[in-house]
A and B are shown apart, each in its own frame.
Chain A
């Protein structure tokens, strides 16, 4: 099989405050033989603008898709939100001729046209479908045996089913399987598929904090030593906001939240520094002692 080659779409929030995700993803993908090409030019995926105007979201997303079509490569996203808007827009515009004509009308104003020639994938599907479990398993040089973690895939990498259609949103297994390849144990816990709450944190903090607190409770109750995410927004909710959640509920979690490529990277033999683990808000000091 030829080497997988993707345009990396980092979106906004990763370069803004979560380079650790990008750094670790680039490290592991490079070693796994996935070639990443930089987007020549891009803008926000469009997702946050959907609340204002649906056509605006579709057109902003389509502009990025047109750029990728011009390069002639599929897009890989690291963010669930970017995956949601780019993948959904791509599928809708490929299927709905009338809507495609409308959006192409807007795109014509900037000299672009959506043709529907590329695909959009999230990191976890590039790993599971293109790289394959066998190759990842073989790349694990330092199995994380004895480590017990839990996963939070997040919503938009799974839902809505009719646009994603890869993993089962009611019982997702992709991220769990990917975690198990590292040698770590992946624990089941209550309400695994519940949303992190981050998307509405800008309008209301009470609800998202309660949602995230409940999730941290459930993860802790099964004895997980870390929570593994594959979306920057979920990660911010559980890592960056963890001290605030602790203060709001007068609880101490001290639960490290790792981006999946950080966990995989450790198992592949990268150092914590190479994977930017020092950038996490909740320091994984104990965790790193466990796997030494």
Chain B
């Protein structure tokens, strides 16, 4: 029989903690109730992603927010594995919107750490170019007509670009470094 490895708990240094982080988070739409998470683990138990990924754990994310482990959270690629199915939101006995917290953290990763998975940068680029997140080829648009479907209305691109600009998104997208793929194991 092989000897079981001794469990060494990961060390959290006090200077890593941002004690005000949870207050900042709880002012954001969707993350208001992060402080009342009592770590029951319902979110992780019911999370379809956690079943197949060894390191996506919604309960841990909520705890890390409470502890103020901001940098560890924002630099952790696991953040991008949530599929936003909202099962955790509907099941939380405390009414904590875990998926909302994850979304707030993703927004912060973009803003504070300039990190974004490549796919979203591409979708945003298509949206700014065509109004749709996919670049629909001319042949497709032609096929619509052949299939008897009405032509796709043209997007008012000027307005879409204005929205990217006034929400600060265009600037954020210019700065981001992209993450190609996220490992789940």
Contact = CB atoms under 8 A, between A and B. Distances in A.
A134 interface: no
B74 interface: no
A116 B129 CA distance: 29
A211 B136 CA distance: 28
A160 B43 CA distance: 14
Given A41-B153, A42-B155, A52-B116, A200 B183 contact: no
A44 B133 contact: yes
B179 interface: yes
Interface of A: 10, 12-13, 15-17, 19, 22-23, 26, 38-44, 48-56, 59-60, 63, 92, 99, 106, 109-110, 112, 155-156, 159-162, 169-170, 193-195, 197-200, 202-204, 206-208, 210-211, 276
Contact of A54 (B29, B141, B185): B29
A26 B150 CA distance: 11
B83 A159 contact: no
A209 to B, nearest CB: 9
Given A51-B107, A53-B168, A12 B183 contact: no
A279 to B, nearest CB: 9
B149 A203 contact: no
Nearest to B176: A52
Interface residues of B, number: 68
Given A44-B132, A59-B166, A110-B163, 16 more contacts: A15-B132, A15-B141, A17-B134, A23-B147, A43-B155, A48-B124, A48-B127, A48-B133, A51-B107, A56-B167, A112-B159, A159-B85, A160-B90, A170-B90, A195-B83, A204-B184
A42 B185 CA distance: 40
Contact of B82 (A23, A42, A200): A200
Given A15-B144, A42-B155, A197-B48, A52 B172 contact: yes
B159 A63 contact: yes
B35 interface: no
A195 B89 CA distance: 14
A195 B120 contact: no
B153 to A, nearest CB: 5
Nearest to B123: A48
27 contacts: A10-B152, A12-B133, A13-B133, A15-B132, A15-B140, A15-B144, A16-B134, A17-B140, A43-B155, A44-B131, A49-B120, A51-B106, A52-B124, A53-B169, A56-B163, A59-B166, A59-B167, A110-B156, A156-B86, A160-B90, A160-B99, A199-B83, A203-B117, A204-B80, A207-B52, A207-B53, A210-B52
Nearest to B77: A203
B17 interface: no
B132 A39 contact: no
Contacts of B87: 155, 159, 193, 195
Contacts of A193: 87
A17 B136 CA distance: 9
B19 interface: no
Contacts of A92: 29
A170 B90 CA distance: 9
B84 interface: yes
A42 B151 CA distance: 13
B48 A195 contact: yes
Contact of A49 (B118, B127, B181): B127
A48 B120 contact: yes
Q: Which of B90, B163, B173 has the most CB of A within 10 A?
A: B163
A4 B111 CA distance: 44
B150 to A, nearest CB: 5
A198 B49 CA distance: 11
Contacts of B85: 155, 159, 195, 199
Given A55-B167, A159-B89, A12 B143 contact: no
A59 B163 contact: yes
A160 B87 CA distance: 8
B107 A41 contact: no
